[in-house]
Amino acid sequence: MAQIVAAMASVHVPLLTSAPHMLDQAAWDKVHQGFNSLRETLTASGADTLVVISDEHFNALDPRRYPTFGVVTAETGVGPVENWLGMPCNSIKVNFVPELAEAVLREGAQQGFDLTRISEAGLEHGFLTVLHFLTPKWDLSYLWLIQNCVLPPLPSVKRCYEFGRMVGDAIRKWGGSRRVAILGTGGLSHAVGTPDMGKIDPEFDKKFLKRLCANSPTLRKITDAELDAVGNGTHEIRNWVAVAGAVEGAKGEVIMYEPMMAVGFGMMRFQLPEAA
């Protein structure tokens, strides 16, 4: 059976690649140290497959047909679809794992999740930005799972935790000897396209990270009202919460946190038992 060998989360700030000049050298040193630490964890785990849980920002998916929980079942993905991300459009091609996508769809149906099959989707910054630093050779196999963090009504934080738990079950039941890592991207506190754009709430971020690293039931009690109060982009913490659900009971540690680039800029990883 497949094993979950690493679980982590990071912001997916597109300015890292589209406007790198916005950070001075001291800030870039912190960013690189954070990504280096996550990449070392990924490499040490021996992962051959990386499951990315993120939202999608209407760059590849039509908001008129937008899933609550989507599973990309394509064999390959190409991007970025954005022409402003600092990478040539459609210059990156990744290999997906449709067999694992089908395993998630089957497990989701058994556990009462109405999942949407996405047979084709261009890659955008929610998927690409962190991987640009973690797997720059694009040499793993990938699965992209999409949660609705942007188009109300949103699934509850509790439901996203349960989604992650289901994904973890699907991975562990999946046949073969794959070593699977899970990455959640997005957040932390920030606002997009509103008068609050640029506002960051470090107090909320640190409280959330403490809950996340404890992986305690209080994590699932976060409300939409709490998230609305600190910026609409903060709803992306659902992707971090789903990772916690996939490794339910595991404790985590914060790799870095710094309020910068108009976002609560954070990274973390869960401590997992060493897989055989």
Structure tokens at 229: 């109060």
Please write the tens of the pLDDT for every residue from 100-109. 999 999 999 9
Q: Which residue has the tokens 């800029």?
A: 265
Q: Is 98 left (phi over 0), alpha (psi -120 to 50) or beta?
A: alpha
List of domains in the chain:
3-271 (3.40.830.10)
Work out the angle at residue 122's Cα, subtended by the Cα atoms of residues 256 and 145, and round it to the nearest 5 degrees: 55
Q: Calculate the CA 270 to chain-centre distance.
A: 14
Q: Are 234 and 159 in contact (CB under 8 A)?
A: no
Residue-level pLDDT at 274: 78
pLDDT of 228 reads 96
Any residues with CB less than 8 A from the CB of 102 and at least 6 apart, and which? 73
Does residue 261 carry a pLDDT above 70? yes
pLDDT tens digits, one per residue of 173-221:
998 899 999 999 999 999 999 999 999 999 999 999 999 999 999 999 9
The average pLDDT across 20-33 equals: 96
Between CA 116 and CA 170 the distance in angstroms is: 16
Model confidence, pTM? 0.97
69-127 pLDDT per residue, tens: 999 999 999 999 999 999 999 999 999 999 999 999 999 999 999 999 999 999 999 99
Which whole number is the average pLDDT over 139-159? 98
Provide the pLDDT for residue 276: 55
pLDDT of 273: 86
pLDDT value of position 275: 63
